[in-house]
Amino acid sequence: MATNFLAHEKIWFDKFKYDDAERRFYEQMNGPVAGASRQVRAARGAALGFSQARKELQQAISKLEARLNVLEKSSPGHRATAPQTQHVSPMRQVEPPAKKPATPAEDDEDDDIDLFGSDNEEEDKEAAQLREERLRQYAEKKAKKPALVAKSSILLDVKPWDDETDMAQLEACVRSIQLDGLVWGASKLVPVGYGIRKLQIQCVVEDDKVGTDLLEEEITKFEEHVQSVDIAAFNKI
């Protein structure tokens, strides 16, 4: 198709041949000088002719490409075919299978299943035994540990009736008092005046067992020798 198109186009491809023949003719007629000038003019003309021919050729090729594009677009094979659509049948909803009612035998089997298992029961028993053993050991350890006992040191002033009171007998009466949590300590006779002396005696008591009120009550029971009892000093140990 391209060859037939170029055959009908009027393009002078052999112009340089005619220019060369014309140059040679004038060289023979006019001699070397004229021939040289003529040769220059011929060369320029050939260059111009070649440039013009080149432009004409490019135009012809452009026209040819344009026609080919038009022919390709108009050909039946170039037409795009629409994609075929596939008809999809609507999805059917699948119903879940009906649940089979459990028979009495199956219910009995389910009841017989031990969800926790015998192993768990054994582990629970072992854990309970271990806990009881630890509690027992703790109780024994706590029982062996001596409890902290709060004690106090008390200094008592025991006064007689007069200067004729036997102070040795008075002290013996006081020391004769024996109570759980009471320990008697040092003692001395302190002058009061007019020849009268008082018994100053120290003791240590457990606070939970013996109090100052109990000591005063027990000492004042000896009415023949004791007039009164005072707390001279009281200190926690």
pLDDT in tens, 121-168: 777 888 888 889 989 888 888 777 766 789 999 999 999 999 999 999
pLDDT of residue 2: 46
> What span, in angstroms and rounded, lies between the C-alpha atoms of 88 and 101?
38
Q: How far apart are CA 190 and CA 201, in angstroms?
A: 10
pLDDT at 94 over 70: no
Q: Residue 28 contacts by C-beta under 8 Å, 6 or more apart in sequence?
A: 35
Give the pLDDT mean for 29-43.
Answer: 58
Question: What is the arithmetic mean of pLDDT over 193-200?
Answer: 93
What per-residue confidence (pLDDT) applies to 151?
A: 93
Question: Could you count the other beta carbons within 10 Å of the beta carbon of residue 156?
Answer: 23
pLDDT at res. 24: 79
**pLDDT given at position 14:** 66
Q: Out of 33-37, 147-151, 176-180, 193-197, pick the least confident.
A: 33-37
> What pLDDT score does 182 carry?
95
Predicted local confidence at residue 122, as pLDDT: 74
| 206 touches 150 (CB < 8 A) | yes
- The sheet carrying 182-193 orders its strands as 182-193, 196-206, 151-159, 228-236
pLDDT one-digit tens code per residue, 37-77: 556 566 666 666 667 777 788 888 888 888 888 887 776 55
**Which tens digits make up the pLDDT trace of 222-232?**
999 999 999 99
Structure-token pair, residue 229: 């009892």
What's the pTM value of the predicted model, to 2 decimals? 0.40
Q: For the beta carbon of residue 222, count every other beta carbon within 10 angstroms.
A: 16
Could you tell me which residue, 118 or 191, shows the higher pLDDT? 191
